[in-house]
Structure 1
Amino acid sequence: MALALLLWLVLAIVYDLRERRVPNWLVLFGGVFALAALATTQPFDIGWSEAGLGAAVGFGFLLFFYATGLMGAGDVKFAGVLGLWVGLSDLIPIWVVASLMAFAHAVLWRKLRDWPIFPRLTSMVVGPSRASEPDVPARRVRIIPYAAYLALAAAVWMVWGRQGS
C-alpha cells in the first residue's frame, strides 16, 4: 500500500505542476486506497481515529482558504485525503514543509513578475494560462500548486521521515 501512496503522490505532483489543478478522479483514487490501507495493512501504523482526524483537520483547515478564494477545491480535497493516509500527527510537519515551499514559490513568482528577463522561467513558475478560457473566471487562476507541494513533502516524509519510526 505504500507503493499506492507513492504513485498517488507522484501523479498529484505531475498533474498539479502541469495543470494547476487536482482532478476529482485523482482525489478519489487516493481516498479509496487510503481506506483500503486502513482496512488491511496500513503501512504507517495509524488507526481509524487518527486517520479520520487527519482527514478532517486537513480538509477543514484548508476549507477556509478555499472559501476566501486563495486555494482551489482540489488542494483542499487532496489535503483531506493525505490526512487520511498519514494521520494528524504526521500531517502537521508535512503541512509546514509544503507551506514553506509554497511561500518560496510565491516570493519567486513576485520577483519574476516584476523582472521579466527570463520569460520561460516565469511561465514555469506561474503555470499554464487560463485567461483565454471563457469558463474560468480570473479569480480562479492558480499560481501556486499547493497539492504538489503537499505531495512532495509527503513523499520526502515517506522516504526519510518515517525511517526513525
Structure 2
Amino acid sequence: MAASLCIQWAANVLLILCLSWCVVSDLLLRKIPNRAVLALLFGWLAVGGLVTAGVVAAPPHLSVALLQALPGTGIVFLLGFLLFLTGRLGAGDVKLMSVLCLWVGYGHQLSFIMMTAIAGGVLALALPLLNSIPAAVALLINRINHQLRTQIATPPVLSSDLSQGIPYGIAIAFGAAYTLIWPLF
C-alpha cells in the first residue's frame, strides 16, 4: 500500500513538473520540449511496468486497461498528425496530447479531449492577453538583470508569425490536470 502511494505521488509530481515545463515553454517560445514529452512517456511506461509486474498493488486486469489506452492514443495521434499536416496544430501539441492519452487511460480519454477543447476555446479568446506575457517576462528579466547585475537570458520576443498561433499546450495541460490531478483532491 505504501509503495503504491509513493509511486502514485512520484507520478503526479512528474506529471505536474512536465506539464508546467510544457506550459511555460509553449507560452514563451511556442514550442513544447521533446524532453518533457519523453519524460512523460517513460514515466507512464515505468508506472505501467511496475503495476503489471506486481510491484504496486493494482486492481485485477490493470494491464488490460493499460493496453486499452493504446487504440485511443493511436487515433488521437493520427488525427493530430492530419491536423499538423494542414497547419492547424503543432507537432509538439500532437505528441503531448498522444502521450497524455496514455496517462488518462481508456475510460477518461474522451473527457480529457473535451476538457482540452473547452480550454482551447477559452485560450483562443484570451490570445491577445497571452501574447503580451512573453514581452512582459522579457522586461521583468531585464529589470532583474539591471537591478541585481545578473545575466539571466531573456526569452525572445515572439515574431508576428508565432504570436498568431495559439499556445495549445496550455489547454492540453489543463485537460490533463483536470482529468488526472483534480479528481484526487
CA shift, 1:122, in A, is: 4.8
Corresponding residue pairs, total: 147
Q: Which one has a bigger Cα radius of gyration? A: 2
Q: Which position in structure 1 is the counterpart of 2:158? A: 129
CA shift, 1:10, in A, is: 2.0
Q: Which of 159, 166, 170 is residue 144 of structure 1 equivalent to? A: 166
Distance of aligned partners of 1:10 and 1:108 in 2 relative to their CA distance in 1, 3 Å threshold: closer
**8 Å contact 1:20–1:142 — kept in the other structure?**
no
Cα distance in 2 for residues equivalent to 1:122 and 1:9: 20
* Higher fraction of helix: 2
Distance of aligned partners of 1:122 and 1:146 in 2 relative to their CA distance in 1, 3 Å threshold: closer
**8 Å contact 2:104–2:179 — kept in the other structure?**
no
CA shift, 1:105, in A, is: 2.3
> What are the residue-to-residue correspondences of 1:1-165 with 2, within 5 Å?
1-41=11-51, 47-109=65-127, 112=128, 122-124=131-133, 128-131=157-160, 138=161, 143-161=165-183
The one-letter amino acid of 2:45's match is L
**8 Å contact 1:53–1:87 — kept in the other structure?**
no
CA shift, 1:121, in A, is: 6.0
Under a length normalisation based on structure 2, what TM-score does the superposition of the two structures give?
Answer: 0.66
Q: Which position in structure 1 is the counterpart of 2:8? A: none
**Counterpart of 1:144 in 2: which secondary structure?**
coil
The one-letter amino acid of 2:40's match is G
Distance of aligned partners of 1:102 and 1:37 in 2 relative to their CA distance in 1, 3 Å threshold: same
Task: Point out where structure 2 has 5 or more consecutive residues left out of the alignment.
Answer: 1-10, 136-156
**Counterpart of 2:31 in 1: which secondary structure?**
coil
Under a length normalisation based on structure 1, what TM-score does the superposition of the two structures give?
Answer: 0.73
The one-letter amino acid of 1:56's match is G
Q: Report sequence identity in percent.
A: 27
CA shift, 1:142, in A, is: 5.7
